[in-house]
Amino acid sequence: VPLSFQIIVDDDDSKVWSLYDAGPRSIRCPLIFLPPVSGTADVFFQQILALTGWGYRVIALQYPVYWDHLEFCDGFRKLLDHLQLDKVHLFGASLGGFLAQKFAEYTHKSPRVQSLILCNSFSDTSIFNQTWTANSFWLMPAFMLKKIVLGNFASGPLDPEMADGIDFMVDRLESLGQSELASRLTLNCQNSYVEPHKIRDIPVTIMDVFDQSALSTEAKEEMYKLYPNARRAHLKTGGNFPYLCRSAEVNLYIQIHLLQFHGTRYAAIDPSMVSAEELEVQKISLHASHEQEEQ
């Protein structure tokens, strides 16, 4: 059963991190999920249920109100200290993926990020052409902010799972207050980009969809260029929220990503849950990839 917490790590009492922590507490390098602008911690419930069933420890978060990337990174570092987590794997969706990269960059001198899974994410906020409005989000009423976010949701005919996923996200969006939304949109659009040389050595999986999503083709190409050695997890369909409407595929890609850490101190899974068969599969796939590299 996921434990639900609210934690304050800053001097400011209004900055509350909400999180679900599920799976074996003995794991010291869990997978942490960072949501998109409209997301709350529970948008990853399909991942929490499946991955903890297989023996992983996962934490899904909801951010406090932070207005700039540095402030977010500082708060997140304090949160990890509070949870006594030295290194973690991060799964970031959209804005969550951008913040995950910024955090890896921010901690590059004493690394806290063991690996990254970046889902429908980006490396430069200027792609949204909103950097000029970023400073005025705090003034806008909640209904206007919600309209801005909804403008990026898919329209047109959708399959039932995708329609349900969007309904769920709209529902989560409704639960967010003006300052929560305004601060996330500010983080999403404030002029900033990732400095790849600082996070070059971190294993990355780039997960994206081939159907309609808020990300432009240019933004995707930019990510591939930035992380030439990243593994790629492409989903034919899934829209903006594949973790909701294509959870089985997403969960499989997460497992494949985390396999490389099995049997090390950075494993996110309880060792007793890793079957000999899985380790064998891992050996074969590693062997195959080394042979490819040598050719």
The enclosing domain of 267 has a CATH number of 3.40.50.1820
Mean pLDDT in residue range 18-41: 94
pLDDT at 285: 65
Grade residue 156 by pLDDT with cuts at 50, 70 and 90: confident
> Rounded to two decimals, what is the model's pTM?
0.91
When mean pLDDT is compared across 3-12, 77-86, 118-127, 160-169, the lowest value belongs to: 3-12
Q: What is the mean pLDDT of the chain?
A: 90
Q: What range does the domain containing 242 cover?
A: 4-294
133, 122, 128: which is closest to 96 by C-alpha? 122
Q: Check whether 277 has a pLDDT greater than 60.
A: no
| Beta strand ranges found along 138-240 (DSSP E) | 204-209, 231-235
Q: How many domains does the chain fold into?
A: 1
Higher pLDDT pick, 285 / 204: 204
Q: Check whether 46 has a pLDDT greater than 80.
A: yes
CA 221 to chain centre: 19
292, 279, 98: which is closest to 199 by C-alpha? 98
Helix (H, G, I), strand (E, B) or coil at 69: helix
pLDDT at 28: 95
Q: Check whether 286 has a pLDDT greater than 70.
A: no
For 33, 105, 119, 206, the CA distances from 196, given in Å and listed in that order, are 21, 8, 17, 14
Mean pLDDT in residue range 228-241: 92
Higher pLDDT pick, 213 / 185: 185
Grade residue 279 by pLDDT with cuts at 50, 70 and 90: low
Mean pLDDT in residue range 186-214: 90
